[in-house]
C-alpha cells in the first residue's frame, strides 16, 4: 500500500497522529499531526536533540522550518484530494521570535490558493499563544 | 580581509557549532570552513526520509542543513563576541535529493552590514555543485540577538 493510500485510510479513521510512524523524519524530530476544534494541527514535540541554540535554549531554525514545511504539506493533503505525494517547490520562512527549546511548538496552515498543479499555503508556528507566532512561512506545493 | 584577531577563530566556530544538539543529531560534518565560505556534509540516513515510498529526504532536513551552514558562514565574518539569528530563509527545491547519497550544503555571505548578513546557499550531491538540489537566500541578524559561539551566560532572545 502506498503512503497516500495509507494516509487516506488514517484520515478517514481519524488516526492521523499515526502518520508519524510512517514518515521517518517526522519521528526523528517529533512531528505529529492531529485534528483539533480549529482544524488540522501539526505539533513539533519538545526534544532536546532539536536544539540549535543552547544559550536561550532555542529550537534549531531548520527544525522550525521543517515544522512549517511539514504543516504546509499536511494542509494540502488535508484540503485537496491528491493522487500523488505533494512536493514543495519553494518556501519562504520568517523567523519572528525564538522557539523555546523546552516547549512544544505548534503550526497551522491555510490553503490560500488551490491550483491545478501548484497550490499556495501559508503557515504560522507558535508556542504559548497562537497570536504570538515564533515563525511564519508561505510556500508553493506541487500537487499534480 | 579584516584583522583576524577581531573575528571568531575558525576552530572555535567549528567546535561550538558541531556540538550543538541538532548538528550532532543530524551528524553534520564541516568540510570547508573559510572566512565567507563554508560547506557542511549531511550523510543520508533512513531516519531523514520524508517520502516513505521513494526514500527521498524530508525537505526539513535540507532546510536544517542550509540554515546551519548559513549561520556558520555568518560567524566567520562577524566580530568576535557578536551573535547571530536567522531572520528569514527562502528556499527553492530544484530537484529531489537522490536516496542514499550524502547532501552537501554550501553558503557564502554576499553582503554584510552592521546588523544584517545576507547569504546565498545551495545543497547538492558531492561533485554535482553545478546541478543543485536546492538554492536558498537568507538573512541573519548580527549583533546581540541569537546565538554566539562564545558561550556566555544567557544569550538574549
**Read out DSSP for B2-43?**
--GGGB--HHHHHHHHHTSHHHHHHT-EEEEEETTEEEEEE-
A4 CB neighbours in chain B (<8 A) are 53
Residue A142: what pLDDT?
97
Domain ranges of chain B: 4-143
CA terminus-to-terminus distance, chain A = 20
DSSP string, A20-47: HHH-HHHHHHTEEEEEETTEEEEEE---
Taking the C-alpha atoms of residue A63 and residue B57, their distance in angstroms, rounded to an integer, is 14
Q: Residue B110 corresponds to which cell in the numbers above?
A: 554576499
pLDDT band at B9 (very low <50, low <70, confident <90, very high): very high
Domains within chain A, CATH numbers bracketed:
3-142 (3.10.129.10)
Residue with cell 511548538: A105
Name which of A51, A87, A89 is nearest B20 (Cβ-Cβ): A51
Give B97's DSSP letter: P
User: B4-143 architecture in CATH?
Assistant: Roll (3.10)
Name which of B46, B87, B146 is nearest A53 (Cβ-Cβ): B146
Min Cα separation B123/chain A (Å): 14
Mutate to test the interface with B, among A61, A87, A95, A138 (most CBs of B within 10 A): A61
Nearest alpha-carbon partner for B85 in B143, B137, B10:
B143
What tens digit of pLDDT does each residue of B132-144 get? 999 999 999 999 7
Say whether residue A90 is in contact with chain B using an 8 A CB cutoff: yes
Q: pTM of the entire structure? A: 0.95
Widest Cα–Cα separation across chain A: 45
What tens digit of pLDDT does each residue of B10-56 get? 999 999 999 999 999 999 999 999 999 999 999 999 999 999 999 99
Contact A44, A67 (CB under 8 A): yes
For residue B34, count other CB atoms closer than 10 A to its CB: 11
User: Does B3 or B114 have the greater pLDDT score?
Assistant: B114
Amino acid at each position: 500500500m502506498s503512503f497516500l493510500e495509507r494516509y487516506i485510510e488514517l484520515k478517514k479513521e481519524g488516526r492521523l497522529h499515526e502518520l508519524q510512524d510512517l514518515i521517518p523524519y517526522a519521528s526523528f524530530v517529533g512531528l505529529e499531526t492531529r485534528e483539533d476544534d480549529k482544524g488540522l494541527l501539526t505539533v513539533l514535540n519538545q526534544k532536546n536533540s532539536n536544539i540549535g541554540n543552547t544559550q536561550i535554549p532555542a529550537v534549531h531554525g531548520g527544525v522550525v522550518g521543517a515544522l512549517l514545511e511539514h504543516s504546509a504539506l499536511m494542509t494540502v493533503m488535508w484540503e485537496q484530494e491528491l493522487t500523488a505525494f505533494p512536493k514543495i517547490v519553494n518556501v519562504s520562512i520568517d523567523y519572528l521570535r525564538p522557539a523555546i527549546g523546552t516547549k512544544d511548538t505548534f503550526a497551522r496552515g491555510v490553503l490560500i490558493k488551490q491550483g491545478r498543479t501548484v497550490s499556495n499555503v501559508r503557515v504560522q508556528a507558535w508556542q504559548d499563544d497562537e497570536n504570538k507566532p515564533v515563525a511564519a512561512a508561505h510556500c508553493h506545493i506541487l500537487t499534480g | 580581509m579584516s584583522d583576524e584577531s577581531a573575528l571568531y577563530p575558525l576552530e572555535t566556530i567549528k567546535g561550538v557549532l558541531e556540538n550543538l544538539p541538532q548538528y550532532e543529531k543530524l551528524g553534520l560534518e564541516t568540510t570547508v570552513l573559510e572566512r565567507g565560505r563554508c560547506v557542511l556534509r549531511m550523510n543520508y540516513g533512513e531516519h531523514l526520509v520524508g517520502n516513505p515510498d521513494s526514500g527521498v529526504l524530508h525537505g526539513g532536513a535540507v532546510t536544517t542543513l542550509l540554515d546551519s551552514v548559513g549561520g556558520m558562514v555568518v560567524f566567520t565574518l562577524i566580530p568576535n563576541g557578536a551573535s547571530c539569528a536567522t531572520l528569514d530563509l527562502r528556499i527553492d527545491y530544484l530537484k529531489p535529493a537522490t536516496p542514499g547519497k550524502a547532501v552537501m550544503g554550501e553558503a557564502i555571505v554576499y553582503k554584510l552590514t552592521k546588523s544584517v548578513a545576507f547569504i546565498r546557499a545551495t545543497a547538492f550531491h558531492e561533485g554535482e555543485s553545478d546541478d543543485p538540489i536546492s538554492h536558498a537566500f537568507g538573512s541573519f541578524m548580527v549583533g546581540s540577538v541569537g546565538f554566539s559561539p562564545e558561550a556566555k551566560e544567557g544569550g538574549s532572545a
